[in-house]
Amino acid sequence: MRELKAAFEERSLEFEDAHFQQHELGYDIFGHVSWQESSKSKSGQQFYRLHRTFVFFYRPATTLPEAMLHSKSTLVSQLQSAFSHLLGMPSCQLEGEDQFNSAYDITTATPDSLRALLTRQAIDALVTVRDAVIILKPRGVLFMRHQQAISHSSMQLVPPGSRQVHNADQRIDDTDLQTFLDDAVTACTAIANDPDAGRRAANAVEGTFAEEALHNMTSRGGYIGHVISKHLVTREMLDALRHQPVPRSNIPGPIRKLGWQGSTTFLMTVLSLMGTIALIISLSTRNNDASWWIPLLISLGAYVGVVLTCCHRAARKRLVVHGRALPGIITAVEQTDDEVNSSLIYRIVVQPQPDGSPIEARMPEQAAKTARRLMEQGRETWVLVDPGKPARGTWPEGWSLEALPD
């Protein structure tokens, strides 16, 4: 179910029913799913649950490049093309396949790998299916009906000003269900039922899918490429960090950012500013206001926060500069209830080899995806361990987008 949930990339998923049919390469899963959406109006933000029908072709033994293919809508396609160009996303069209190019828009950061998946059989099948949304995930293919093809009469619109969670029902009804299932099989099985699909896509380019995606986005410029280039921890940086003798020096900026600075620079600035303002107010009112001590307490609290943040940063920095690099294996990846900037945080446990105390790292979803892949494949990783406190450490490969294996 984890791979099925990951295919939707929604936070509040609920599966109303799911039917599993075993396949020699995995499972074909059909069902209904819902998640919470929101919209803004003059009366404020309104929430509703969006209900959809899906088919997911789960293939646990393969690894596919991530992509989304959806039937073209003239206005949506024009807006998407302009927006993708602004962001610096690579384009993906098939040479000599005018019928396919006019029928589908493709969103992917790995166009070369995706083209290797789209065989003659797959292209011929796809052009016969209309109103489709096909999402390729590493472990399978998700099929849904294009939202514009679903009758608006099935929509239960949210009453203005209502604070209740209402429904927007876009499930396929019984009269269209068989056509929907037939379209899902036609559109997806040329890829999903090909045992060599993942290998063929992986061999299409040098390096991993993650490295292909990063190269495409950073080499095109654009906003996404600029942001990624500024914060990207490369494999070369990690190799240098692992093998550099302690104390390490000349730490690259992206490793400093993720290793110990994070968002604490902004937090320290805010706390320092707040503490200074509160101190000034306290000192200026102490002779004529009996409550002058309240802003003084606020000031002291803010400065205590600065000191605690500095101690946290110093401990994290000590790990990067003085930590021992030890080989290890991932033994657990668990979702926590914590969030940072609306992103879920995961608990990742690495067992140093040949022995030592387990190292726990709390990292966002992208790092958790890398950790799961390494754990599934039994690959070795490595950790930095505090020489003075062997139970304290960090997992540097979780900082790198390039560390995600195929």
What pLDDT sits at residue 80?
Answer: 59
> Does residue 230 surpass a pLDDT of 90?
no
Q: C-alpha distances in angstroms, 365 versus 6, 65, 105?
A: 10, 18, 27
CA distance 203 to 22: 28
CA dihedral (294, 298, 301, 305) in degrees, to 10, reads 180
pTM above 0.95, yes or no: no
pLDDT tens per residue, range 339-393: 877 778 899 999 999 888 899 999 988 899 999 999 988 999 999 999 888 889 9
Sign, CA torsion 4/9/13/16: negative
What pLDDT sits at residue 16?
Answer: 84
- At 150, the pLDDT band (50, 70, 90 cuts) reads low
pLDDT tens per residue, range 332-342: 999 888 887 77
H helix or E strand, kind and range, residue 384: strand 381-385
> Does residue 201 surpass a pLDDT of 50?
yes
CA distance 148 to 77: 13
CA distance 360 to 374: 16
What pLDDT sits at residue 190?
Answer: 94
pLDDT tens per residue, range 235-248: 899 999 999 999 99
For every residue of 180-243, DSSP letters joined together read HHHHHHHHHHHHHT-TTHHHHHHHTSSS-HHHHHHHHHHHT-HHHHHHHHHH---HHHHHHHHH
pLDDT tens per residue, range 49-101: 888 899 999 999 999 999 999 888 645 555 555 556 566 666 788 888 999 98
- At 32, the pLDDT band (50, 70, 90 cuts) reads very high
Summarize the confidence of residues 167-173 as an average pLDDT: 81
Average predicted confidence (pLDDT) for the chain = 85
Does residue 33 contact residue 51 with C-beta atoms inside 8 Å? yes
Q: Which residues pair with 346 in a beta bridge?
A: 335, 363
Burial 310-342 (b: 16+ CB within 10 A, else e): eeebeebbbbbbebebbebbbeebeeeeeeeee
3-state secondary structure of 59: coil
Say what percent of the chain tops pLDDT 70: 87
Beta strands 324-340; 343-352: pairing state: antiparallel
pLDDT tens per residue, range 214-228: 888 777 666 676 777
- At 160, the pLDDT band (50, 70, 90 cuts) reads very low
Half-sphere exposure (CA, 13 Å, Cβ side) for 362? Answer: 10
> Does residue 194 surpass a pLDDT of 90?
yes
> Does residue 166 surpass a pLDDT of 70?
no
- Picking from 223, 214, 236, the residue whose alpha carbon sits closest to that of residue 401 is 214
